[in-house]
Amino acid sequence: MDRVFIEGLEVDTVIGAYDWERDIRQCLRLDLRFAWDNRPAAADDDLSLTLDYATVTARIQAFAEQARFELVETFAERLAAALMSEFGIRWMRLKVTKPGAIAAARGGVGVEIERGCL
């Protein structure tokens, strides 16, 4: 199975369990991988047969704009469910990083989930 990926996508959202976090928007960095059969699109050079990463990215940004979760885990689960349902994705891996959440963790902290089957 082929993979479509989006790496290092930064979105601003309300995320966090502390009171001060409920009043600000914070950046999350997302890395996504999707199973997708690229052969039909490649055979006819047809964008309509792809998993259009521009459309997927726009959906992710809209999701983040509306999200108001305490947990990064909840953000990841709900986003994965929405993308799989709306785009017919059978398998995906999503890594959500919250930069700056732990000062000593220079690269950030977060979760990585894998949903569906190949």
Task: Based on the residue annotation, tell me whether 98 is a catalytic residue of this protein.
Answer: yes
**Residues 6+ positions from 74 with CB-CB distance below 8 Å:** none
Give the pairing of strands 26-35 and 68-69.
unpaired
Q: Cβ–Cβ contacts within 10 Å for residue 115, how many?
A: 16
Helices (H), 1-118: 39-44, 53-66, 72-87
**First vs last C-alpha separation in the chain:** 7
Q: How far apart are CA 21 and CA 26, in angstroms?
A: 8
Catalytic one among 32, 60, 64, 98? 98
Residues identified as active-site: 98
